[in-house]
Structure 1
């Protein structure tokens, strides 16, 4: 299990986590090794431009919500370089990035899931 999978498991259980993801696909929003804080999310509250921790096609990403399909309860995930990773269900969206290096992400705090589901 990789670091991102480990973080997603903790968030799925209701924890808020901090970690330093690597890579440049989210720059300048998140630069490699910046400290991010990710909290459990209520996917029904997501908006375009939110940064989420989600599984798409078997891989875990900390990427942008680039499209919403509310009727099918799914979101499209993309990096900040124009590459679309694909669609994923609300059930595979584990958390929302609430801050980067201590700087709050606008509106993210209102999207935190307040309670853990019984099966979570």
Structure 2
């Protein structure tokens, strides 16, 4: 299990997580080692250009939403260098990137998923 798998599990569980991803696929939006903060997301609120933490074909990426298919409940994930990772279901989109190096991502905070309501007593 890789570092992003651990982060994805925490975000899927409802946590907001800050971490430092490595790599160059998202430059200049995210540079290797930038501190990013990711929170659970309402996938139905996503827009093209949002940066999300998602599982595509078995791998977890912190990449951009490049296309939407709401009728089928899925999004296309791509890096920032023209590479397309593929389509993934809403259920595999774990979080949205709120900040990069302390700078808020425009509109991201409004897409954070509301915490789950506790079950009503029987």
TMscore range, shorter length: over 0.9
How has the CA–CA distance of structure 1 residues 89 and 117 changed in structure 2, closer, same or farther, with 3 Å as cutoff?
farther
Partner of 1:54: 54
Larger-gyration structure (1/2)? 2
Kindly state the Cα deviation for residue 116 of structure 1 after the two structures are TM-superposed.
Answer: 3.3
**Matched-pair contact (CA < 8 Å) for 1:26–1:63:** yes
| Aligned counterpart, 2:103 | 103
1:69 counterpart = 2:69: yes
Instruction: Supply the distance in 2 between the matched residues of 1:116 and 1:88 (Cα, whole angstroms).
Output: 23
Matches within 5 A, 1:81-96: 81-96=81-96
Task: Report the counterpart of residue 39 of structure 1 in structure 2.
Answer: 39
* Rounded Cα–Cα distance in structure 2 between residues aligned with 1:114 and 1:64: 22
CA deviation map 1:74-116 (0-9, x unaligned): 0000000000000000000000000001100000000000113
Report the Cα distance in structure 1 between the residues aligned to 2:23 and 2:80, rounded to whole angstroms: 11
What is the CA deviation profile of residues 21-61 of structure 1, one whole-angstrom value per residue up to 9, with x for unaligned ones?
00000000000010000000000000000000000000000
TM score, norm. by length of structure 1: 0.96
Report if aligned partners of 1:13, 1:116 keep a CA contact under 8 Å in 2.
Answer: no
User: What is the CA–CA distance in structure 1 between the aligned matches of 2:99 and 2:13, rounded to whole Å?
Assistant: 20
- Give the alignment's Cα RMSD to 1 decimal: 1.1
TM-score normalised to the size of structure 2? 0.95
Structure 1 runs not aligned, ≥5 long: none
Residue 24 of structure 1 aligns with which residue? 24
Corresponding residue SS for 1:39:
strand
How many residues are matched?
118
